[in-house]
């Protein structure tokens, strides 16, 4: 047993689970390596409330059964991950503005009358994580690499938080063009393959966000890859990598080498979980405790 597992099991013993313990869970496939149980259980502990969080593997096509089970088993909150985020948006009773814009749900709340409300906390999680680092997106110009699910949630949050300008660069042009519609009037597509276009957008940007999966630790070869050439990064930039495994990506290493501020993606993961707990319990957990636990679990 690793020291992380020992620490986690010790934490669970401290939870003192009873017959009235409230249960929350993440549903998805795969979920067996999810950091969410560690992050959420430490969050519940920081609140001193009788809640526990578990991971449930739910196969594609079984989302409705999972919602039925949620009601039957009186689960108090669900996190939703791939492959269910889009289908759940059409199965819940209502959705928040962000979940509606994205047609994607990562959080399910059960209201006092038993109806299910879908939320999306990823984008606001990033905004909260930046705020904790002293970074405001209001009035800022942002270059975002990627146009997948994570990029879309960030673009939606950036426009809600009064970002001035958004440049979207993605390998597939059609996905970049579709993401522009999330921030009409302030977002435009730039070429990811033309270094001069990309450098021009970077010069005009205060914040650069990597929302591609480039740099993820899938294999020893992939971790040393950066989605952005180092010469595009200037000391005035704030560079955020949504990839959090490894915690120090090649992009963040190059960012520090270029003298710019580097922000890792674990903060977004932890803050979006804290927002989920606020939705379920009305309380704000200790994000520093949650971040430390996630970092330890990653190590």
CA 21 from centre of chain = 27
In the chain, alpha helices (H): 3-15, 36-47, 63-72, 85-91, 97-102, 122-132, 149-160, 173-180, 195-203, 250-257, 266-281, 287-298
148 touches ligand NDP (CB under 6 A): yes
146 touches ligand NDP (CB under 6 A): yes
> Please, which residues have CB within 8 angstroms of residue 24's CB and are 6 or more apart in sequence?
40, 51, 52, 53, 54, 75, 76, 77, 78, 79, 280
When binding is defined by CB under 6 A, the residue of 64, 65, 111, 172 that contacts ligand NDP is 172
239 touches ligand NDP (CB under 6 A): no
Nearer to ligand NDP, 113 or 174 (CB): 174
Choices 8-16, 87-95, 208-216, 284-292; region in contact with ligand NDP by CB under 6 A? 208-216
Annotation marks residue 85 as catalytic = yes
83 touches ligand NDP (CB under 6 A): no
Contact 179, 168 (CB under 8 A): yes
CB of 145 to ligand NDP, least distance (A): 8
x/- mask, ligand NDP, residues 106-125, rule CB under 6 A, reads ----------------x---
Choices 10-18, 59-67, 135-143, 164-172; region in contact with ligand NDP by CB under 6 A? 164-172
Residues 185-204 that bind ligand NDP (CB under 6 A): none
CB of 214 to ligand NDP, least distance (A): 5
When binding is defined by CB under 6 A, the residue of 107, 120, 170, 255 that contacts ligand NDP is 170
CA 270 from centre of chain = 8
The dihedral of CA 179, 184, 187, 190: what is its sign? Answer: positive
DSSP helix/strand/coil, 228: coil
Catalytic residue among 85, 188, 204, 218: 85
| Cα–Cα nearest to 53, from 292, 290, 291 | 290
Angstrom distance (rounded) from CA 126 to CA 186: 19
* Contacts with ligand NDP, residue ranges (CB under 6 A): 122, 146-151, 170-172, 175, 211-214, 216, 242-244, 265, 268-269, 272
Residues with a known catalytic role:
85
């Amino acid at each position: 047993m690793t020291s992380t597992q020992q620490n986690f099991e010790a934490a669970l013993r401290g939870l003192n689970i009873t017959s009235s313990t409230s249960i929350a869970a993440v549903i998805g496939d795969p979920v067996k390596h999810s950091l969410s149980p560690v992050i959420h259980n430490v969050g519940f502990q920081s609140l001193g409330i009788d809640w526990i969080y578990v991971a449930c593997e739910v196969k594609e096509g079984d989302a409705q059964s999972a919602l039925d089970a949620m009601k039957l088993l009186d689960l108090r909150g669900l996190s939703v991950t791939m492959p269910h985020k889009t289908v759940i948006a059409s199965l819940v009773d209502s959705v928040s503005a962000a979940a509606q814009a994205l047609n994607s749900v990562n959080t399910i709340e059960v209201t006092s009358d038993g109806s299910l409300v879908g939320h999306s906390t990823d984008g606001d999680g990033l905004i909260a994580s930046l705020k904790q680092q002293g970074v405001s997106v209001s009035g800022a110009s942002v270059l975002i690499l990627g146009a997948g699910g994570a990029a879309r949630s960030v673009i939606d949050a950036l426009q809600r938080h009064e970002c001035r300008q958004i440049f979207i660069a993605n390998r597939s042009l059609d996905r970049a063009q579709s993401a522009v519609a999330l921030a009409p009037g302030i977002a435009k597509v730039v070429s990811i393959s033309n270094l001069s276009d990309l450098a021009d957008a970077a010069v005009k940007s205060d914040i650069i966000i990597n929302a591609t999966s480039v740099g993820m630790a899938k294999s020893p070869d992939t971790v040393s890859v950066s989605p952005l050439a180092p010469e595009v990064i200037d000391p005035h930039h704030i560079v955020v990598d949504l990839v959090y495994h490894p915690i120090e990506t090649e992009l963040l290493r190059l960012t520090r080498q270029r003298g710019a501020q580097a922000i890792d993606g674990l903060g977004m993961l932890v803050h979006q979980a804290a927002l989920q707990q606020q939705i379920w319990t009305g309380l704000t957990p200790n994000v520093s405790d949650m971040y430390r636990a996630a970092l330890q679990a990653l190590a």
